[in-house]
Chains A and B, each alone.
Chain A
Amino acid sequence: MSNCERCKGLINQKLDNELLDLEQPELEEHLKQCDSCSTYYQRMSDLHNRLLSLPIIDTQESIVDQLILDIDNIKKENKDIKFKSFNKHWFTRYGLATAAAIVLFVVPITFLANQNNIEESADSVEFMAAEAPDEKASISNLEIQTDNTLASDSVSRGDGNYGAQAVAFELYKIEEVSNQLIISKDEEVIFKTKQWEDNLSVEFYQINENEISYSLLNEDGQEIASYIINLIENKEDKILD
């Protein structure tokens, strides 16, 4: 064992059932010799067991039972592609389903020529209703009024493919230039982030009409900081160190 830091890593792997067989003797040997790591192991095991014992939370009433009554309505709405006057709560839900249906059936036609990237990779399990590689993609021309919260029907996180969203809002153009993000609308630059260091990479996506999130990753792909840019207030806030 080279040092106690490595031992801590192995202890955490062990707690996660991810310790390799060949690493087990190395860990045991170090724990025999190092009181500090033994104490750390006991404390982390204790915490781990408490975390494991936390309850899985149940709803008081089944949400499926509430939803299933409206499944047929959702289907019907998908066919009609028009909204009725729901109360706000249900509008959000139906709006979501309908928007999903619209981008499922209508947007692919619009973007037929650009669909080379639509196929999901074998490992990608998040379905994208409309993966439009063009960052200017907008379905506003369908004259759909919908809640923005429906818009970020996410999203291949981690690949910086900000165009890959089923959106009900206009996407900004976001470019990575000289270690900073430059955000433009109608060919006009409206925001520039601070520059980051050469050894970092960036992931970004548009959250909603007014906000863009980006994260900086080190060479190991580890996220070291995340920011949200608010384009109305023209500022960025750090959300993760």
Chain B
Amino acid sequence: MIVRQGLVIGGVLFIAFLLQVTLLSRLGLPGATPDLLVVSVVAVALAMGPIQGAFAGFLAGAIIDVSPPADTVVGVNSIVYLAIGFLAGYVVDTRDRTVPGMIAIAAIGCAAAALATAALDAMLGSPRVLWESVPLIALTSALYGALLAPLMIPLLAWLTRKLAPEVLLD
């Protein structure tokens, strides 16, 4: 059961990663790249729960840090996404969730990912962070996240019902 959940999460994240680096980041959209990975992590957390969200965040960060063309410090994105995945699943009780609320969680998650990555990279001595462009990146990332959320959250909810219904019983 845990293996099947892991496979669902891993498959979704890997496809999201491929879409992100080969399609979304090449569209030349202003500001940030639409952060499909963070939205997927949030969707996993909302569909399955905080622990699965944390695991999905860890995995998503590891995938993006280890795969080309990344040249960032491995593990930074893992920590950031793991926190986002956990909090997204933990912050609002399942019974109190509304559609706008879930979209807001995804948008805030994307903005938080952009800000936290910048902060951690700067702390680890990366010369790359351009502070004057960080607000724009965080804002546009939140906007794209809000647009992607209505696709990913129902998709993950459906996948969970079909492939890993045991999570819903907890």
Query: Do A and B share a complex?
Result: no
Please list the residues of chain B having a beta carbon within 8 angstroms of any beta carbon in chain A. none
